[in-house]
Amino acid sequence: MNERAAGNARASDGAAAALTDEDRIDLLRTMIMIREFEEQVQRSYLEGLVHGTTHLCNGQEAVCAGVAKALRDDDYVSYTYRGHGQCLARGMDLEAAFAELFGRATGACGGLGGSMHLTDIDHGLIGAFGIVGAGLPVAVGAGLSAQLAGRKQVSVCFFGDGAVNIGAFHEALNIAQVWRLPVIFVCENNLYGEFSHILHTTPYEDLVIRAASYAMRTELVDGNDVLAVYAAAAGAVARARDNGGPAFLECKTYRHRGHSRTDPAKYRAPAEVEAWLKRDPLSLYRAELCAAGLISESDADRFTIEARSAVKAAADRAAAAPWPSLKQDFMAKTFV
C-alpha cells in the first residue's frame, strides 16, 4: 500500500466537502454499478457471450467514479481497452455497453468496436485506445479543441502505469504543457502492466515524478478513496477550466483480477493481493457512508441488488439482441 498516497489523499478535502449527500450516495451507486457490470462481463465471457478478450477494472472503480463526478456533460473523456468503468461513469447505457461486448447490432458501436473500443460521442466518450499510450495525444487534441472553442470544457485522459514508458505519453504531456491545454491526465497506477511489476519497467513507483518533469501540476492520489479522487479531480478540472493548464493525477489503485480474459495473475504475491483487497474501494466507501450515517447497511445492500438486477436485465436484453447485419454498408461506416 502506499503510505504517502493515503496520507495525501484528502489534501483537497475542500472540494469533496462541497458534495451534497445525494452526490456522495450517487458516487457509491456508480461504483457498485461498475463492479456489478464487470462481474457480469466476466460471467458472460466464460459463457462465450463476450468474445476475444476483455479487460476488467474491478478494484479501480473509485477512479472512474470520482473523476467522472468532477466533469460536465460537455467535457471529453478518453480511455483504454480497460475502459468499461469510465464509460458507465459517464452514463453510457448499460445495454448498449453489454451489446457491444456481445458483438450485437444494438451495441454502442453496432458490434464493430468490441470490448476494447467502447465509444459514445454523445456522452463525450471520444474513444477507447487499444494501443498503449495512443489515447494521450488524442486527448491533447480534444484539449486544444476545448481551448479554441472557449467554452471552458476540459479533456480527461485515463491510462495505466505501463503507458508512461511509451513515446506517445511523453509527446502528449509536453505538448499539453507547452500549449497550456485543459487536459487532465489520469494515470491509474495499478502497479502492473500485463504481468510485469512497475519497478521492473520504470525506475520508481511514483509516476508523479515523471509528470512533474513537464513542469506540470501533479497530484498523488489514493485511487481507492473515491472522495480523494473526486477532490483531486475537481481541483484539477477547476484550474484547467480557468486556463490554469493541464494536470496529472496519479491514482494508486489495484486491479482485482488478472490483466485480461482468464489471466490468474499468478505474478502477484498473495500478500500483496490480500492487502489491496482489504482496501477495496467499494467496501471502504460503503463503510464510510454507513459510518457517517448517510446510508444504512440495508440501503447499501439494496443498491447492490438494484444494480445487479439492472445489470442482469441489460445483459439479458443484450444477449437477446440481433447480430449485426452482414448486409449493412460497411464502407459507409468507414468513410462518411
Partner 1 sequence: MTANEKMAAAELKPLQMAIQEITYREAIVAALREEMRRDPKTLIMGEDIGASGGPFKTCQGLYEEFGASRVRDTPIAETGFVGAALGLALTGYRPIVEIMFADFLGVCFDQIANSIAKHRFMSGGRVKTPIVIRALGGAGLRFGAQHSQTAESWLLSVPGLKIICPSNPEQAYLMLKAAIRDDNPVLVLEHKALLSTKGAAPIGLDDVAMPTGPRVLRPGRHATIVASLAMVGKALAAADRLALEGIEAEVIDVQVLRPLNVSPISDSVRRTNILVTVEEQAPTGGWSSDVVADVVSQAFDFLDAPPARITLPDHPLPYSPHLEDSFIPSPERIAATVKSLL
The grid cell for 53 is 478478450
The binder of Mg ion chosen from 36, 161, 206, 280 (CB under 5 A): 161
Residue 110 makes contact with partner 1 by CB under 8 A:
yes
61 lies in the site for ligand TPP, by CB under 6 A: no
Directed axis angle between helix 21-46 and helix 297-320, to 10°? Answer: 40
The single residue among 132, 146, 240, 289 that binds ligand TPP, judged by CB under 6 A, is: 132
Does the protein bind a second copy through residue 238 (CB under 8 A)?
A: no
How many positions of this chain bind a second copy (CB under 8 A)? Answer: 23
Taking CB under 5 A as the binding criterion, the range among 62-70, 97-105, 191-199, 246-254 that sits at the site for Mg ion is: 191-199
Per-residue CA distances from 116 to 102, 127, 197, 211, 291 (Å): 12, 10, 22, 26, 38
Q: Given the complex with partner 1, which of 43 and 302 has the nearer CB atom?
A: 43
CA–CA dist 194, 208 (Å, integer) = 21
- Taking CB within 5 to 8 Å according to partner kind, which of Mg ion, partner 1, a second copy, none is near residue 214? a second copy
Task: Map the footprint of a second copy across residues 172-211, applying CB under 8 A.
Answer: 174-175, 177-178, 200-204, 209-210
Please report, as a single letter, which amino acid is at residue 31.
M
Measured from the CB atom, the residue of 132 and 156 that comes closer to ligand TPP is 132
Smallest distance, Mg ion to C-beta of residue 194, A: 8
The residue among 81 and 276 lying less far from partner 1, judged by its C-beta, is 81
- For CA atoms 55, 58, 60, 61, give the dihedral sign: positive
Choice between 160 and 324, CB closer to Mg ion: 160
Q: Which of residues 292-331 bind ligand TPP (CB under 6 A)?
A: none
Longest dimension (CA), the chain: 57
The reply to whether 136 sits near partner 1 by the rule CB under 8 A is: yes
DSSP E strands in 150-190: the ranges are 155-160, 183-189
Contact criterion met (CB below 8 Å) for 64 and 87: no
Q: Which residue type sits at 182?
A: P
Residue 182 interacting with partner 1 (CB under 8 A)? no
Applying CB under 8 A, among 59, 66, 83, 137 the residue interacting with partner 1 is 137
Residue 166, interface with a second copy (CB under 8 A)? yes
* Of the candidates 235, 281, 218, 283, the residue with the CA atom closest to the CA atom of residue 18: 235
Describe the chain by its helix, strand, coil percentages, rounded to 5: 50, 10, 40
Do the beta carbons of residue 231 and residue 13 sit within 8 Å?
yes
The residue ranges that bind ligand TPP (CB under 6 A) are 82, 130-132, 159-163, 166, 188, 190, 192-194, 259
